[in-house]
Amino acid sequence: MKKIFTLISFVLAGFTASAQCDLPEEFTGNTGSNMTVMLTSAVITSFNITEENAFLVAFSDSLGLIVGSTELFGLSQTTIAIWGDDATSVGVFDGASANEDIYFQLVNGTSIYDVEMSSTISYVTNSMFVQSSPAIVTPFCVLGCTDDSANNYNDISTEDDGSCTYDTSSGTAIEYELSAGWNMVGYTGTADNNGIVEQIDAALGNDAVTATTFEVIKNVSGQFWTALYAQITTFNQGEGYMMYVNGTPTTVNFQQNSGYISGIEYSLSAGWNMVAFTGDVDAEDNIVLAMDAALGNGDSTENTFEVIKNVSGQFWTALYAQISTFNPGQAYMMYVNGSPTTVNFQQ
């Protein structure tokens, strides 16, 4: 067997980043000689088929050649023809050799499973093998969430497909104080937010509405929202925004309905970024320690940033710092030296 599986393992290694399995193809053709394997209901039930494209594929042991396949969805029992080598094609193998062991894989959707039949099957032309006991089915390449901290963790998944979802953690929901005039506020709400107005209307502590509380809301690129005209209409999770508050100070809490949201990762570009500090009141807030742990590039705060500034213009640099800690819910202007990376204060 183990040549085909070694080959497939090598191929799969190249697909890890895009999270996909290299599915074997169904057999096509006729070599003029075959044998039959009967799959009873006990065998098919053990496959736990869920997808309409489910099929079983047979491999020869010596060359890892596909020598048969059969579709399975909706069937209680079936047979699979195992095709033998055409002896008239000298030097070309197009089927199993006499007495060669046959191995199987199950394709179910986008996942692949190794299948061990209850009894060994060796190729003998015109013979029939009846499989009447359940097979042993083990994951070979199964897509799903591989993070055991996620609420949709799949313990049989071998390849992470980016589908992990997370409940809110036990952290404290982030409430940030807004002063009259300019504020730099981090959006710490849900990624699938329903719009700037809806998010802030629900988040404000003054029971007012977005239109009367804010004169303007701007992102790092200078695109803005106002009650009369808007270039931006939704927030980006983990991003910071300049917000001008009309009149009385108030509070904003984007997590008062959802609770504290963990796992917020924000992409940093080279140059200027406006970034939310998404740690809660119990998180590490020292700028260097928090950022060193949060960076996706594995580098240090000192090497990654030229300067980090708050809304008042106070700054941190590697040589001199006026500020040394982050404030939950506040956003900071950060100048990234060199390559883009990511930041996740909750990892």
Q: What is the pLDDT of residues 197-215, one digit of tens each?
A: 999 999 999 888 999 999 9
Domain co-membership, 7 together with 136: yes
Query: How far is 104 from 127, CA to CA, in rounded Å?
Result: 18
- Kindly report, residue by residue over 265-305, the tens digit of the pLDDT: 999 999 999 999 999 999 999 999 999 999 999 999 999 99
Query: How far is 139 from 209, CA to CA, in rounded Å?
Result: 53
Domain co-membership, 98 together with 195: no
Domain co-membership, 228 together with 297: no
Q: Is residue 318 part of a domain?
A: yes
- Tell me phi and psi for residue 248, to 5 degrees: -70, 135
DSSP-derived letter for residue 179 is P
Q: Is residue 166 part of a domain?
A: no
DSSP-derived letter for residue 53 is T
Query: Which residues span the domain enclosing 118?
Result: 2-145+155-159
Q: Indicate the pLDDT class of residue 334, thresholds 50, 70 and 90.
A: very high
Domain co-membership, 220 together with 122: no
Lowest mean pLDDT among 2-11, 52-61, 161-170, 278-287: 2-11
Nearest in space to 306 (alpha carbons), one of 282, 270, 341? 270
**Rounded mean pLDDT, 112-128:** 94
pLDDT at 1 over 50: no
**Rounded mean pLDDT, 65-93:** 87
> Could you tell me the CA-to-CA distances from 106 to 13, 14, 202 in Å, in that order?
20, 21, 49
Give the end of a domain, one of 252, 280, 301: 252
Q: Which segments of 219-294 are extended strands (E)?
A: 224-225, 240-245, 250-252, 266-268, 271-276
Contacts of 90 (CB under 8 A, 6+ apart): none
- Kindly report, residue by residue over 98-110, the tens digit of the pLDDT: 999 999 999 999 8
* DSSP helix/strand/coil, 92: coil
* DSSP helix/strand/coil, 144: strand
pLDDT at 113 over 70: yes
| Domain tally, the chain | 3
Give the strand pairing for 128-131 and 34-39.
parallel
CA atoms within 13 A on the CB side of 161: 16
Give the end of a domain, one of 252, 283, 299: 252
Q: Is residue 109 part of a domain?
A: yes
Query: CB under 8 Å, gap of 24 or more: what pairs does 129-132 form?
Result: 129/35, 129/36, 129/37, 129/38, 130/37, 130/38, 130/40, 131/37, 131/38, 131/39, 131/40, 131/43, 132/40, 132/42, 132/43
Give the chain's radius of gyration (CA, Å): 30
pLDDT at 262: 85
Contacts of 33 (CB under 8 A, 6+ apart): 83, 84, 85, 86, 95, 125, 126
DSSP 313-346: S-EE-SS-BS--B--TTBEEEEEE-SS-EEE-TT
Q: Is residue 135 part of a domain?
A: yes
Please say whether the beta carbons of 264 and 257 come within 8 A: no
Query: How far is 335 from 309, CA to CA, in rounded Å?
Result: 9
Give the strand pairing for 305-309 and 224-225.
unpaired
- Kindly report, residue by residue over 29-60, the tens digit of the pLDDT: 888 899 999 999 999 999 999 999 999 999 99
Query: How far is 130 from 127, CA to CA, in rounded Å?
Result: 10
Domain co-membership, 225 together with 322: no
Domain co-membership, 293 together with 240: no
Domain co-membership, 181 together with 140: no
Please say whether the beta carbons of 19 and 160 come within 8 A: yes
Please say whether the beta carbons of 75 and 40 come within 8 A: no
pTM for this structure?
Answer: 0.55
For the CA atoms of 320, 305, 327, 218, the dihedral, rounded to the nearest 10 degrees, stands at 120
